[in-house]
Amino acid sequence: MTRPAVVLLSGGLDSAVTMALAREAGRRVHALTILYGQRHAWEVEAARTLASRLGAMEHRVLPLDISSIAVSALTGHSPVPREAEPPVTAEREPTIPPTYVPARNTILLSLALAWIESLGGEEIFIGVNAVDYSGYPDCRPEFLAAFESLANLATKAGVEGKASFRVRAPLIQLSKAEIIREGQRLGVDFALTHSCYDPPGPAAACGSCDSCRIRREGFRQAGIPDPTRYVHA
């Protein structure tokens, strides 16, 4: 019997590959997308399509608008940076950028934890990455380990010994190029994914934000054609 797992599915490239990996591992996937007050909903629409294409048993879109208390460029409080510099990587030890959303992954994982406990499962999959990332503190292995400990201390199933909750981050140590190659191997249609922080339209990406530059460089390094239509090359 396959085990249930909750996958946090944003609609972006990383979460799509993470879901495909969970399915490959034989998990019965329950996909969770949070409408947290981000600047646009196109990524959420991408998640709906991906959930269907990648074989989610169930997909829930939960509206939880934190934009009024979470100050970030991604929640519309300030402009999205468009700096013409190399993609941000962990090796550069960047400062935390304005696109960081306060406590976002803590909130998302907490919601996923509530669902997986209710489902009687133990695993949460999240597509965070500590190699090609934007300097977010909640994308680090240390954070995931701390949350996993919290999950087993703060739940009925954990305290009663009926579950041992685990946070799976299969992309955590992969470069963007390696993630893209994995996605290609798994048959992920990258044209369905949406990564841009501030897209000019539903079928286009700005090409100049941090997320676009990391994505474009990842496809270049992977040697795989990038299906994204960028407004600024």
Residue pLDDT, tens place only, 168-193: 999 999 999 999 999 999 999 999 99
The lowest-confidence range among 1-5, 86-90, 94-98, 170-174 is 86-90
Q: Which of 180, 178, 151, 146 is nearest to 164 (CA)?
A: 151
Of 15 and 79, the structure prediction assigns the larger pLDDT to 15
Cβ pair 10, 18 in contact under 8 A: no
Torsion of CA 13, 95, 208, 50, to 10 degrees: 10
The lowest-confidence range among 53-67, 90-104, 113-127, 131-145 is 90-104
The lowest-confidence range among 27-31, 96-100, 200-204 is 200-204
Q: Where do we find the tokens 């955590």? A: 172
How high is the pLDDT of residue 54?
97
Q: Would the pTM of this model clear 0.85, i.e. be above it?
A: yes
Residue 87's pLDDT band, with cuts at 50, 70 and 90, is very low
How high is the pLDDT of residue 90?
47
Q: What's the rounded Cα separation, in Å, for the pair 115 and 22?
A: 17
